[in-house]
Amino acid sequence: PRFTVGLTGGIGSGKSTAAARFRHHGVNVVDADQAARVVVEPGRPALAAIEEHFGPSVIQADGTLDRAVLRKLVFDDPTERRWLEQLTHPLIREEIVTSLAASAQTHSAPYAILESPLLIESGQSELVQRICVVDLPEAMQLARASARDANTLEQIRKIMAAQLSREARCAKADDILDNSGSLESLNAQVDALHAKYVQRASQS
Ligand code: ATP
């Protein structure tokens, strides 16, 4: 397979921001969240299986999955959650692999990026040759995540608690983007990593 770098980090760390800079260099960034949405689109077998299992309440009037309802159904039920994950995780992985394989045809850069908030937790890191972590102090993460969207501080803290700790994530990193500074500083770090990955890709 092609040289692929996994890009990860906690909520509000700056993954999307860093990914945009990699794209600016002609790199194909495959988004794991996007893949997770695609596999349950109307017409996909997974959506029919979910409807059969959980009933019609999980389908909205326009035929798309009602994520809020589904989330409530699996939230406090580990058995149901496992059922859902065993259905969707292999499909998400397949979708990611297909998108990564298309990179060579669609993008100029000699490597691709897999952007995933749960790269390490989900086992998707098996699909990549290197792990790049966007890192910043947890207090800044909380501040940026809460400034960006409607989640309350309490909700963001909960999401952070379900993700790897900063220390555990950084321990798995081959490269670290320090996003505690300005956007210009982040972009300059991405530019340097891009040059390094181009070289790595030509050697692999
Ligand atoms: P999530 O996993 O929650 O989707 P993310 O890791 O993709 O988040 P971003 O959306 O890229 O994070 O960044 C979070 C917020 O912080 C955004 O509003 C973004 O504009 C802002 N941000 C990112 N980097 C910086 C920076 N260096 N300085 C100031 N603000 C920043």
User: Are 143 and 10 within 8 A, CB to CB?
Assistant: no
pLDDT score of 104: 82
> Is residue 16 a known part of a binding site?
yes
Task: Give the distance (Å) from ligand 1 centre to CA of residue 63.
Answer: 32
> Is residue 15 a known part of a binding site?
yes
Contacting residues for 63 by C-beta, under 8 A, at least 6 apart: 42
* C-alpha count within 13 angstroms, C-beta hemisphere, residue 89: 12
Going by alpha carbons, the residue nearest to atom 14 of ligand 1 is 12
Q: Which CATH class is domain 4-203?
A: alpha beta
Task: Give the distance (Å) from ligand 1 centre to CA of residue 179.
Answer: 9
User: Which residues lie with the beta carbon below 6 Å from any ligand 1 atom?
Assistant: 9, 11-17, 117, 144-145, 148, 179, 182-183, 186
Task: Tell which one of 17, 119, 122, 157 to mutate to probe ligand 1, the residue whose CB is within 8 A of the most ligand atoms.
Answer: 17
pLDDT score of 76: 80
Residue type, 73: L
Consecutive H or E run containing 131 = strand 130-135
Reported in sequence order, the residue ranges of the chain that DSSP labels E, i.e. its strands, are 4-8, 28-31, 112-115, 130-135, 175-178
Q: What is the chain's pLDDT, residue by residue, as a tens digit (204 residues)? A: 579 999 999 999 999 999 999 999 999 999 999 999 999 999 999 999 999 999 999 999 999 999 999 999 998 899 999 999 999 999 999 999 999 998 888 898 999 999 999 999 989 999 999 999 999 999 999 999 998 887 788 889 988 998 999 999 999 999 999 999 999 999 999 999 999 999 999 887
pLDDT score of 100: 94
Return d(Cα 12, Cα 6) in angstroms, integer.
17
> Minimal CA–CA distance to 157: which of 182, 139, 178?
139
pLDDT score of 1: 57
ipTM value > 0.85: yes
Q: Sort strands 4-8 and 112-115 into parallel, antiparallel or unpaired.
A: parallel
pLDDT score of 13: 97
